[in-house]
Structure 1
Amino acid sequence: MSRKILIGLAAGAIALAGCKKEADAPAAAAAPEAASSSLPASNHEFQPAIDAGDFAELVGRLASDEFEGRGPGSAGEERTVEYLRAQMQRIGLQPGNGDSFFQEVPMVETTADPNTKLVLTIGGEPVELGFGTDMVVGTRTGESLVSVKDSPVVFVGYGVKAPERGWDDYGDEDWTGKTVVMFVNDPGFHVDDPKLFDGKKMTYYGRWTYKFEEAARRGAKAALIVHDDAGASYGWDVVKNSWSGAQYDLPASDDPEPRIPVQGWLTADAARKLFAGAGISLEDAYKQANKPGFRPVPLDATLSVDLASTTARKTSRNVIGVLPGAGRADEAVLYMAHWDHLGKHEGEGDQIYNGAVDNATGVAGILEIAEAFANQDPKPERSVVFVAVTLEESGLLGSKYYVAHPTFPLDKIAGVINLDAMSVAGRSKDLVVTGLGSSELDDMLKVYADQQGRVLKEEGNTAAGYYFRSDHFNFAKAGVPALYASGGSDLVEGGTAAGKAASAEYAKRYHQPSDEIHEGWRYDGIVEDLTALYGVGRDLAAGDRWPNWREGNAFKAARDTMMADKAAAPATP
């Protein structure tokens, strides 16, 4: 899983999941190679409805050693995508990308020189910062050398522009060539003020990815985020490990987001020295940044760095199948799950990272839902699209590429449902909705939760911003309402104590070779969860409903603009 919460079974592994996608570099991502042998045939007889035995067959194959941990660019990828294509064809789906089930995803691998030094000249005195010890920096430009010389450093609070909240940390200054320094998380978080943004609950503006994008939109030359454990929800070692080694991104030509030449993080100690040069304590800086009407503060410092990187171009593939709608085939409901995991590593013992929970369960889940749709009577009015994306473990790149190159226009997608790390702990009394309250899709899910005698609950540790750490996030940023839900931790058999025990057990296996199918897996809860999520999509595909984001949500403006533009466009003859 990538930048997200482990829901249900993994509810107790929240911090682990939140850190991972900041921390782990992916396994190898070389050009795809042909599978060494074809997969053995299965004699399993699939049922038309969502079925525990069918799910067990699918997840068992996807998590087996023959798929070699489903590493992008490996023989395991070739076997995985061919298996997924075969399953989609068996179900009766049509190719989802023109006449192909595959969508090629280009990527750029960038590795920053770990010997990079960054120099802050504070009050006329140069201070050299070491990579990993005082700072980490990288570039998404794809360039082998990016140089910044004597760039003026300015403190921009939390680096947020939120028009719907009346907040703009940048103002109307010219930021060309400047370096911006900012805090992680949102205004309100560090002073525990529930009246500022959402208090301790992270919004989209609190994510470090947003902050770099906004700095790029402003034309800054470099951007640095001040790290703190609570605000980031992980320690400095996570940041250091995350930004060391190979980093993956889409080529700039395939990514609509703005990119800043140099981006990275400062330790709190390094930031303290920087602020002291301007006569400001770090503690006072936090107070200033949390006052409405904050204005940028020059820090009497400049930044210089020569950032050398090695780069390489590689590819992977999304797998896309579609069930064409009976009456409104140009509109779509989209289910998604990421097929990739960490692959096969060299070494002694078991070195295959099977990724059974993460995310063979989600891929098996969308296939089971596809089977139910294919056998549904009456057929859905809208088309239903099933996308198994790649490179989630490398920064949500497969879904980002799909959003930039959608097979249905985004204004024709009524909603997205993401399946990632399904709970295998058994039936639960709750359904955990990560980002509960974000969109009207919650109301549609509640109908089925009520029918099952269950309640909707938000994820634990809302300060960590887990809604922004899985593949649906790329759709959300573009404005398309997206739902991310799975079984809860209040189990029918054993209650919350049993749920916590199951979570603790899975935390030991998370992103380890031991994330395999285990004898204690329970499929009755999976069937209930999939049935509820299928129900949401079935209702959405049956009519002309267009769910939206809640008032005040950061993504609502994009959806409103998208739908208004669609309504104003001339009708197609």
Structure 2
Amino acid sequence: MTKHISVYINLFFVFFISIINLYSQDRNPVSQIQKESLLKNVSILSSKEFDGRLPGSEGYDKAAKFAANKFLELKLKPFGDAAFFQFLNVEYNRIDTPVVFKSIIDSVTIDYELGKDFVLRGFSGKNSFTLPVAFCGYGLSRPDLGYDDYQNVNVKNKIVIVFKQNPKWKIDDKEWGSAYPREKSLVAKQKGAKGILFVSLPNEDKPQPLIGSVMHGDGEQPVDFPQLHISIKAANDLLSKVGLTLSKCQTKIDEKKKPFSFLTRTKAEVVTTTHYQKEVRTMNVVALLEGNDPVLKNEYVVIGAHLDHVGSQGGLLFPGANDNASGTAGILEIAKAFASDKVKPKRSVIFVLFASEEQGLNGSKHFVENLKMPKEKIVAMLNLDCIGYGDSIQVGNGKSAPNLWQIAEEFDEKNFKLMVRDTWNGGGADATPFHEKGIPSLYFVSKYSYDHLHLPTDTVETLNPDLFEKIVKLAFLTAKHIADGKYEREIIK
């Protein structure tokens, strides 16, 4: 009988401890952040339904509504222009089918595959033609520097091949200016060309792959001017009739610092189907957790990530799982952790998912230009971008906000030991507009995060779940420390 009583007592003790542990876990907000939930939200956001989350598209609007509903479920307060949405206007270009790129070498036609041999630039124009091809070096026309890739070649009614990047060398130590595709496209169009084929520099250790991108530069959109990014192999096919390779062309130009442009004696067939709008409405998604201190609730911590990616083109999806469904999922988990805490923070916390980072930080710029409070009342901004792939944690902008960076480092040392010491100054990504307003900021990113950057392979299956969870927990612990009033706003460097 005594033995049985002892067993019952032990079982009761185990049960009691389990209940205490479970209750403690529920009370501990950081335990709310789980990799399973993070990966589930990334899977949803990077799915075909959301179509690459290009601002202005139906897919992006679905993603914004998904995030707003999550904030609503957490009983956070809407903090936008209308409910959770803060509206802004952006350029928009939808790329549909058909999309065709072929080379024609004498009587031989080579068909190229979208995503493997070429992609369209995000702001490609619409047209259809088969035309001769000219190679025009770096695609620069700078008579003021005595350099013009178009000077000795007639590109009227031609398609031009140009290097996507600018030269690494200079003339008289002068800058070349922007290397954005729109600028080079407008130069080629002004010279009489009908379309442009960008190609990565072949002599780089790692030539840039065929990425999806909507970072395009300023200027009017040439709506009838196709803009493709083609593979080095496809470019070499088009140069084959003149007995040259792209690498030899780059070497010749770089060694002599003089143009080397010519007609290739080949043709290309190009078909692009696009729908351009100079302005469409899109939105940031913004929610508020009000602080509980009568004074400090009028100070704010902003925790943000960009929701957008680069969309799709002709059925080719750029999922953007790491960039930046990971950061978005991180914000949703951090919001859940704050909302689950029985003790609310002293300071108010703003959760914001930015639109149009990929086009040039448009959403975060709009947010800081339209603050609902004096900028001095924002004590810190934490940005999460590309946090799901890699093997360690990097926290950027630590040289500009060293006290803030030190908080993150101390939490990492106590809990994870994954944070590298390397950092930088000047903001970075969506932290930049805040930094430029004098707001202390940190930029959380996973180290070695960019193997799949802007590629169709940026899928949830590539992510590192354990690292993903820990970097989100680190961002939460840092944010909670600030929101609890344990950090005083510093003057940034």
Q: Is the 8 A contact 1:432 1:488 kept in 2?
A: yes
Shift of the 156–434 alpha-carbon distance from structure 1 to 2, 3 Å rule, reads farther
Q: Structure 1's 61 and 108: CA in aligned 2 closer, same or farther, altered over 3 A? A: closer
Is the counterpart of residue 315 in structure 1 residue 281 in structure 2? yes
User: 1:269: how far off?
Assistant: 5.9
The answer for the alignment partner of 2:143 in structure 1 is 120
State which of 458, 465, 468 in structure 2 corresponds to 1:523.
Answer: 465
Q: Given the alignment, which residue of 32, 40, 60 partners 2:43?
A: 60
2:457 maps to 1:514: yes
* TM-aligned CA deviation for residue 98 of structure 1: 4.9
Deviation of 1:398 after TM superposition, in Å, equals 1.0
SS at match of 1:395: coil
Whether the 8 Å contact between 2:397 and 2:428 is mirrored in structure 1 is no
Asked whether 1:444 is paired with 2:407, we answer yes
1:35 aligned partner: none
> Residue 393 of structure 1 aligns with which residue?
358
Shift of the 269–322 alpha-carbon distance from structure 1 to 2, 3 Å rule, reads same
Q: Does 1:370 align with 2:332?
A: no
Are residues 1:105 and 2:71 paired? no
1:52/1:544 Cα in 2 relative to 1: closer, same or farther (>3 Å)?
closer
In the alignment, the residues of structure 2 paired with residue 344 and residue 67 of structure 1 have an alpha-carbon distance, to the nearest angstrom, of 10
CA distance change for structure 1 residues 468 and 241 in 2, over 3 Å: closer, same or farther? farther
Corresponding residue number in structure 2 for 1:535: 477
1:40-79 → structure 2 map (5 Å cutoff): 49-79=32-62
Distance change in 2, residues 1:528/1:118 (3 Å): closer
Partner of 1:475: 434
User: Which of the residues 216, 221, 227 maps onto 1:247?
Assistant: 216
Displacement of 1:528 after TM fit?
Answer: 2.0
Identity %: 26
How many residue pairs match? The answer is 347
Unaligned runs of 5+ in 2: 1-27, 94-122, 126-133, 181-199, 221-249, 260-275
Larger deviation, residues 449-458 vs 396-405: 449-458
What SS does the aligned partner of 1:471 have? Answer: helix
Matches within 5 A, 1:57-206: 57-108=40-91, 118=141, 120=143, 128=151, 133=162, 181-182=174-175
Q: Flag the 1:407–1:271 CA change in 2: closer, same or farther, 3 A.
A: farther
Q: What is residue 496 of structure 1 aligned with on the other side?
A: none
For residues 183 and 352 of structure 1, the distance between their equivalents in structure 2, rounded to whole angstroms, comes to 33
Q: How far has the Cα of 1:512 moved from its partner?
A: 2.1
1:181-223 Cα distance to aligned partner (Å, 9 max, x none): 4489xxxxxxxxxxxxxxxxxxxxxx999xxxxxxxxxxxxxx
Q: Cα 1:376–1:513, aligned 2, differ >3 Å: closer, same or farther?
A: same
Equivalent residue for 2:382? 417
In 2, the alpha carbon distance for the partners of 1:246 and 1:524 equals: 32
Q: C-alpha distance in 2, partners of 1:237/1:521?
A: 24
Deviation at 1:112, TM superposition (A): 11
SS at match of 2:419: strand
Change (3 A) 1:365 1:250: farther
* CA distance 1:77–1:466, change in 2 (3 Å): farther
Which letter does structure 1 place at the counterpart of 2:286?
I
**3-state SS, counterpart of residue 61 of structure 1:** helix
SS in 2 for 1:446: helix
Question: Is 1:356 paired with 2:321?
Answer: yes
| CA 449–344 in structure 1, closer or farther in 2 if over 3 Å, else same | same
Partner Cα distance (1:402, 1:445) in 2: 25
Q: For 2:363 and 2:372, locate their aligned partners in 1 and report how far apart those are by CA, in whole Å.
A: 13
Unmatched runs of 5 consecutive residues or more in structure 1? 1-46, 138-154, 158-180, 185-206, 210-228, 252-266, 275-309, 490-502, 551-555, 557-573
8 Å Cα contact 2:301-2:380 kept in structure 1: yes
Name the CA distance, whole Å, in 2 between partners of 1:523 and 1:409.
38
Say which of 281, 302, 305 aligns to 1:334.
Answer: 302
Verify the 8 A CA contact 1:120 1:126 in the aligned structure 2. no
State the TM-score, normalizing by the size of structure 1: 0.51
Report the secondary structure of 2:327's partner residue. Answer: helix
RMSD of equivalent CA atoms: 4.6
For residues 206 and 42 of structure 2, what CA distance do their matches in structure 1 show? 35
Whole-angstrom CA distance in 1 between matches of 2:320 and 2:212: 20
Structure 2 residue aligned with 1:345 = 313
1:301 corresponds to which residue?
none
Label 1:469 to 1:382 Cα distance change in 2 as closer, same or farther (>3 A). closer
The one-letter amino acid of 2:356's match is L
Give the AA of the match of 1:329: K
Distance 1:118 1:112 in 2: 21
Q: CA deviation at 1:313?
A: 2.3
Highest Rg: 1 or 2?
2
Are the aligned partners of 1:356 and 1:515 in contact in 2 as well (CA < 8 Å)? Answer: yes
- Structure 2 SS opposite 1:364: helix
User: Quick one: distance in 2 between partners of 1:135 and 1:270?
Assistant: 18
2:417 corresponds to 1:454: yes
**Distance change >3 Å, CA 381–CA 273, structure 1 → 2:** same
Q: Residues 136 and 313 of structure 1: is their aligned pair in 2 closer, same or farther, counting only changes over 3 Å?
A: farther
SS of the residue corresponding to residue 483 of structure 1 reads: strand
Cα distance, 1:435 vs structure 2: 3.7
The structure with higher relative contact order (CA 8 Å, sep 6+) is 1
- Counterpart Cα distance in 1 of 2:92 and 2:52: 20
Counterpart of 1:379, as a letter, is: K
Displacement of 1:526 in angstroms is 2.3
Letter in 1 for 2:360: G
Q: What do the CA deviations read for 1:242-265 (whole angstroms, capped 9, x no partner)? A: 99x9836799xxxxxxxxxxxxxx
Offset at residue 317 of structure 1 (A) = 1.0
Contact 1:107 1:250 in 2 (8 A): no
What is the CA deviation profile of residues 110-144 of structure 1, one whole-angstrom value per residue up to 9, with x for unaligned ones? 97999998452579x9994999859999xxxxxxx
Q: SS of the residue aligned with 1:431? A: strand
Residue 533 of structure 1 aligns to a residue whose secondary structure is helix
1: CA distance, partners of 2:149 / 2:467: 60
Secondary structure in 2 aligned to 1:319? strand
**Contact preservation (8 Å) 1:332, 1:412:** yes
